[in-house]
Amino acid sequence: MDELDGIDRAGLLLLAVGQQYAAQVLKFLGPKEVQMLGMAMANLQNIRGEMVGKVVETFLEHIRDQTAIGLRSDDYIRGVLTEALGEDKAGSVIDRILLSRNSRGIEQLKWMEPRAISELIRLEHPQIVAIILSMLDPAQASAVLGYLPEGMRPDIVMRIASLEAIQPDALKELDSIMEKQLSGKTVKSSSVGGVAKAAEILNLVESSVEAGVMEFLEDKAPDLAVQIQDKMFVFDDLAKLDDRSIQTLMRDISTDSLLLAMRGADEELKEKIFANMSRRAAEMLRDDLEAAPPAKLSEVEAAQKDILQIARRLADAGEITLGGGGDELI
């Protein structure tokens, strides 16, 4: 079982319990979690009987360690916080903590196609659009941004970068607007936006969109443009990863994707990658790069963005550490 990571073990467990029970579990997860588990289940191969047994045994051990504390605890939380802080102060804190139990609209957007989201929100006030994009996964938000009218994009990014938090009451009202057309799960946080969020989204949009937005910001809000630029993590910044992180990342990248992406990489990154491969593999990759036919710039950039998304997924899972502009991003 040591050769399986946490996601793989979870996927194997769902395969082991059968379709009906696995489906019931997935209903309680968010879109990103469902996608990661789905990929894990699809990629599992050569699973031995003893591996299944160990995964199930480990799961049962964890279950035995659990208690009933925390179940149906809303009233208890309200009582403790109200007594400790007073009714007025406790109100906003309680709302912030328990908001995810009662809201439904915005979270459902995470299950929709980016084009559909853009059609749904494009006529809303720019501040509402900014808040919604801040609450989506950066990859999904970047795709939605690409479908919005070109004239809207810089304003939206500037508003995202300026966001810090949204009051629970305002978030409830926004969620109510979305719920008129949608139904789904819960909004998990009232902390949204910020420079880092804007940078994450811009990292994943097409280069032409990124250039247009940054040009606007450099003209209208130069200080903000510098802050965003400092937080952005581009493909060549992968050279700053430590050797272990590079090796972990490369295990999740196909050879074809790496070959295409490296055509637009600088020499520092190329040497970093070569140094973390076996001598034979590095020589083969060098030869393939030299012999590779010309590729469209858009294809190279798309491959690089795909790899950046993989890097961010691994960083979210704590498997690698990303750093950009001298600061940790994840």
Q: What are the tokens at 292?
A: 């590779």
32-36 long-range Cβ contacts below 8 angstroms, 24+ apart: 32/110, 32/137, 36/7, 36/313
CB atoms within 10 A of CB 177: 15
Compute the CA torsion angle 299, 114, 116, 178 (nearest 10 deg): -170
pLDDT of residue 143: 87
Q: What are the tokens at 241?
A: 């990863």
Domains of the chain, first to last: 6-65 (no CATH), 70-101 (no CATH), 104-231 (1.10.220.30), 235-328 (1.10.220.30)
Instruction: Collect all residues with Cβ–Cβ distance below 8 Å to 134 and sequence separation of at least 6.
Output: 141, 160, 163, 192, 193, 194, 197
pLDDT of residue 76: 61
pLDDT of residue 130: 87
pLDDT of residue 273: 92
The answer, as to whether pTM is greater than 0.75, is no
pLDDT of residue 165: 67
Residues 223/157, Cβ–Cβ less than 8 Å = no
3-state secondary structure of 235: helix
pLDDT of residue 61: 72
d(CA 25, CA 28): 6
Q: What are the tokens at 111?
A: 């299950």
d(CA 315, CA 321): 6
Tell me the pLDDT of the chain (330 aa) as tens digits: 456 777 888 888 888 777 777 777 777 776 667 777 777 777 777 777 777 778 777 777 776 665 544 545 566 666 666 766 666 655 555 554 554 444 455 667 777 788 888 888 888 888 888 888 887 888 888 889 988 988 889 989 988 888 776 666 666 667 666 666 554 433 333 445 677 778 877 876 777 777 788 888 888 888 888 888 777 777 888 888 889 899 999 888 888 889 999 888 888 899 999 999 888 988 998 898 888 888 888 888 888 888 888 887 888 777 887 754 333 333
CB atoms within 10 A of CB 149: 9
3-state secondary structure of 229: helix
219-227 long-range Cβ contacts below 8 angstroms, 24+ apart: 220/154, 220/158, 221/158, 224/158, 224/161, 224/162, 224/195, 227/161, 227/195
What are residue 327's DSSP bridge partners? 324
Tokens 């989506």 — which residue? 136
Q: What are the tokens at 95?
A: 């709302």
